């Protein structure tokens, strides 16, 4: 019991004896029900798939470096971008955000010992590897080549086996995320520590609440669409096949009823993480907590009634186009509230420009570009020109890469110390940021012009007039590919041999930072206690905070002693 003599001070790194037993490496390969283990399992698995999806993207860009279809060839090209997109969405962004960060952070942030249904949680994770395997196997057969949207009738005649594997893969992944959705909904509503009201939750939890609602309502409809599609594909029914009286547009409605909310499933958690990261490194309270929290719910609601903005040229009736145009544009308002609140949070702060913050601010700057191009797309007459062109490809990468991926990197740099107990290397972190930021813009900025000038998407061969911009874009893609290497090396090295992080390297105030890094199995020694609000920066003197830290330390030692005595 050496701890009792230590000077109890959270800010200082705790003595070795206070360190929790490090997770034995093999636990990450078991059917663990600990939400922290599961969260890390998700993050590592999905990052591997990110590399695979990225490798495919690199191949796509290599094909597009020249106007002729001379690298992959026509068939393989379509397979490549289809699987690229499917992996990036269903095996990277969604599981990394919800499964990865959601799992790791939500219970810690609300002072719970674990998720509401730990076994279910583990089951949901172990559905991800088979999902990926099915998809990768489909690459080896006649790959699914109808795009990630997989519109019939085309999807019915291009590679039956590959298409069916694609469907099964997404059905599995969808089931996984529905189970996760149930888990988060119940956990956030029912498992908050005594005394924590919804209004005391960190904003990330609000975002996860909205996300799980979207998952629960929208994902099943996609499952329905894919089941009908399988029947058309295998049993010869004609739900979506006009030759048998079916209607391809019905599939489009069902698909987008899920896949538009899906894009908010892929951004709301990032909004949440940014709302956590900016205040910590700007040393200021989040600006307009309530507005940000409720805007997540507003986006959740609006996100469910805009899907047909992907179908403005599908011969949808006028009234539908008009309704969906207005509803879509409305989303700019709640999103704007978030963006401006983040800016106000930065304003007058004492900003630490470390890797986490660089990616956090990078997210804001890049996402806004994607959002603005989104507003252009939402205007029916404008969309009629740019629909299915590279302008859309530019938009979706600005929001998905400039948005979601930048956000994930920010989150990784920010919570890596908590997850592993070790710090990442700052220098290489910044190198990673610069390479990513530069490569990203070189790669995707030119696509706006390409689309507007007349280059359609999903083509392996294109008009030579577009050669120059495409070449530039491909160069950017290769820079992006390289940019992942410093991150990989940095992460792996730091995990093994990085300097010890201590409980709270960023002097952050949300609950997860009041326990050790990595936290013990039940997350908290004794019971978690809300000493401050999650964003009370500048509201407490250093003395008060040290005093709180001391109290926490005493409590921790007490509970350790209890543990000791109960064992002996």
The contact set with ligand HEA (CB under 6 A) reads 50-52, 54-55, 57-58, 60-61, 64, 81-82, 84-85, 88-89, 93, 147-149, 263, 266-267, 309-310, 328, 331-332, 335-336, 339, 368, 371-372, 374-375, 377-378, 383, 387, 392-393, 395-397, 399-401, 403-405, 443, 457-459, 477, 480-481, 484
CA distance 524 to 510: 13
Residue 369 touches which member of other proteins, Cu ion, ligand HEA, none, C-beta under 5-8 Å by kind:
other proteins
Window contacting other proteins (CB under 8 A); options: 132-140, 243-251, 396-404, 426-434: 243-251
State the minimum distance, in angstroms, from the CB of residue 403 to other proteins: 14
Please say which residue, 159 or 403, places its beta carbon nearer to ligand HEA: 403
**Comparison of 370 and 505: residue with beta carbon closer to ligand HEA:** 370
**Residue 548's binding partner out of Cu ion, other proteins, ligand HEA, none, with CB under 5 to 8 Å set by partner kind:** other proteins
Q: How far is the CB of 81 from other proteins (least distance, A)?
A: 10
Eight-state DSSP code of residue 403:
I
Closest residue to ligand HEA in the complex (CB): 54
Per-residue CA distances from 224 to 215, 221, 242, 402 (Å): 14, 5, 19, 31
**Residue 323 pairs with which residues in a beta bridge?**
none
| Nearer CB in complex with other proteins: 57/460 | 460
Min dist CB 337 to other proteins, Å, is: 6
Q: Which stretch binds Cu ion (CB under 5 A): 56-64, 256-264, 375-383, 533-541?
A: 256-264
d(CA 456, CA 447): 10
Q: How many amino acids of this chain bind other proteins (CB under 8 A)?
A: 151
Distance in Å from the first CA to the final CA of the chain? 13
Residue 376's contacts (CB-CB under 8 Å, 6 or more residues apart) are 382, 383, 386, 391
**Total residues at the site for Cu ion (CB under 5 A)?**
1
Q: Does 253 bind other proteins (CB under 8 A)?
A: yes
Using alpha carbons, list the distances in angstroms from residue 157 to 82, 142, 168, 229, 254. 15, 11, 17, 12, 20
d(CA 88, CA 514): 34
Residue 461 or 551: the one with the smaller Cβ distance to ligand HEA is 461
Using rule CB under 5 A, residue 260 touches Cu ion: yes
Among 92, 104, 185, 415, binds other proteins (CB under 8 A): 185
Q: For the beta carbon of residue 15, count every other beta carbon within 10 angstroms.
A: 12
* Sites for other proteins among residues 308-337 (CB under 8 A): 313-319, 321-322, 325-326, 329-330, 332-333, 336-337
Q: Which of residues 135-154 bind other proteins (CB under 8 A)?
A: 145-147, 151, 153-154
Q: Spell out, one character per residue from 510 to 549, where the chain touches other proteins: x when CB under 8 A holds, - when not.
A: ----------------xxxxxxxx-xxxxxx-x-x---x-
Task: Name which of residues 388 to 427 contact other proteins (CB under 8 A).
Answer: 388-389
Secondary element (H or E) of residue 213: helix 203-230
| Closer residue to other proteins in complex, CB, 15/385 | 385
State the minimum distance, in angstroms, from the CB of residue 113 to ligand HEA. Answer: 32
Collapsing DSSP to helix, strand or coil, 510 comes out as coil
Distance CA 124, CA 95 (A): 10
For the CB of residue 497, give the shortest distance to ligand HEA in the complex, in Å: 22
- Residue 349 contacts other proteins per CB under 8 A: yes
| Residue 324 CB, nearest approach to ligand HEA (Å) | 8
The residues pairing with 347 across neighbouring beta strands, listed in sequence order, are none
At residue 505, φ and ψ (nearest 5 deg) are -60, -25
551 contributes a contact to other proteins by CB under 8 A: yes
What tokens does 32 get?
A: 């663990």
Choose among ligand HEA, Cu ion, other proteins, none what residue 60 binds, the Cβ cut-off being 5 to 8 Å by kind. ligand HEA
Residue by residue, DSSP assigns 106-158 as HHHHTT-SS-S-HHHHHHHHHTHHHHHHHHHHHHHSS---STTTT-TTHHHHS
Residue 483 Cβ, how far from ligand HEA at the closest point, in Å?
8
Q: In whole angstroms, how close is the CB of 4 to other proteins at the nearest point?
A: 16
Residue 3 interacts with other proteins (CB under 8 A): yes or no: no
CB neighbours of 455 closer than 8 A, spacing ≥ 6?
389, 390, 462, 463, 466
To other proteins, the closest distance from the beta carbon of 41 in angstroms equals 22
Strand partners, 339: none
Q: Which is nearer to Cu ion, 260 or 338 (CB)?
A: 260
Buried b (16+ CB within 10 A) or exposed e, 402-433: bbbbbbbbbbbbbbbbbbbbbbbbeebbebbb
Q: How far is the CB of 504 from ligand HEA (least distance, A)?
A: 31
> For residues 70-109, which are near other proteins according to CB under 8 A?
74-75, 77-78
Q: Can you state the angle between helices 355-378 and 318-330, rounded to 10 degrees? A: 150
Q: Determine the 3-state secondary structure of 456 from DSSP.
A: strand
The CA angle 88-50-140, to the nearest 5 degrees, is 75
| Positions in the binding site for Cu ion (CB under 5 A) | 260
């Amino acid at each position: 019991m050496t701890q009792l003599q230590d000077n109890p001070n959270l800010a200082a790194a705790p003595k070795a004896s206070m360190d929790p037993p490090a997770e034995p490496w093999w636990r990450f390969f078991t059917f663990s029900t600990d939400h922290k283990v599961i969260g890390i399992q998700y993050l590592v698995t999905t990052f591997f798939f990110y590399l695979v999806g990225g490798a495919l993207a690199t191949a796509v860009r290599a094909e597009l470096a020249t106007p002729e279809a001379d690298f992959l060839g026509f068939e393989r090209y379509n397979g490549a971008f289809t699987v690229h997109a499917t992996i990036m969405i269903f095996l990277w962004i969604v599981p990394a955000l919800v499964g990865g960060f959601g799992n790791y952070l939500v219970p810690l942030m609300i002072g719970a010992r674990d998720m509401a249904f730990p076994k279910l949680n583990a089951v949901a994770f172990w559905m991800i590897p088979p999902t990926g395997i099915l998809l990768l196997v489909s690459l080896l057969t006649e790959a699914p080549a109808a795009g990630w949207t997989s519109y019939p009738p085309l999807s019915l005649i291009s590679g039956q086996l590959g298409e069916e594997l694609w469907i099964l893969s997404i059905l599995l992944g969808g089931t996984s995320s529905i189970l996760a959705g149930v888990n988060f909904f119940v956990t956030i509503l029912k498992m908050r520590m005594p005394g924590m009201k919804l209004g005391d939750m960190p904003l990330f939890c609000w975002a996860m609440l909205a996300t799980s609602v979207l998952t629960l309502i929208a994902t099943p409809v996609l499952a329905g669409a894919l089941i009908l599609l399988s029947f058309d594909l295998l049993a010869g029914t004609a739900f979506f096949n006009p030759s048998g009286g079916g209607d391809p547009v019905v599939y489009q409605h069902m698909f987008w009823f899920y896949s538009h909310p899906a894009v908010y499933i892929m951004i709301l958690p990032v909004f949440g993480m940014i709302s956590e990261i900016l205040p910590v490194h700007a040393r200021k309270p989040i600006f307009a907590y309530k507005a940000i929290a409720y805007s997540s719910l507003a986006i959740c609601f609006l996100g469910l009634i805009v899907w047909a903005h992907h179908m403005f040229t599908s011969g949808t009736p006028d009234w539908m186009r008009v309704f969906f145009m207005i509803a879509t544009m409305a989303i700019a308002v709640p999103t704007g509230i978030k963006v401006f609140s983040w800016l106000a949070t930065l304003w007058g702060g004492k900003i630490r420009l470390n890797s986490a913050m660089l990616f956090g601010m990078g997210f804001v700057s890049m996402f806004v570009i994607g959002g603005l191009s989104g507003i252009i797309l939402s205007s029916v007459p404008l969309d009629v020109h740019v629909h299915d062109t590279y302008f859309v490809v530019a938009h979706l990468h600005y929001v998905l890469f400039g948005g979601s991926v930048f956000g994930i990197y920010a989150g990784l740099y920010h919570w890596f110390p908590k997850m592993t107990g070790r710090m990442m290397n700052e220098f290489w972190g910044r190198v990673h940021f610069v390479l990513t930021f530069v490569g990203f813009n070189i790669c995707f900025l030119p696509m706006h012009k390409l689309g507007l000038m007349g280059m359609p998407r999903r083509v392996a061969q294109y008009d030579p007039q577009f050669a120059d911009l495409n070449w530039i874009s491909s160069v950017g893609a290769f820079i992006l590919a390289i940019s992942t290497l410093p991150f990989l090396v940095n992460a792996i090295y730091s995990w093994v041999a990085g300097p010890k992080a201590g409980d709270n390297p960023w002097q952050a105030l949300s609950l997860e930072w009041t326990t050790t890094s990595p936290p013990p199995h039940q997350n908290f020694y004794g019971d978690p206690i809300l000493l401050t609000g999650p964003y009370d920066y500048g509201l407490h003197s250093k003395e008060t905070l040290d005093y709180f830290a001391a109290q926490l330390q005493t409590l921790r030692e007490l509970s350790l002693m209890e543990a000791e005595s109960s064992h002996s």
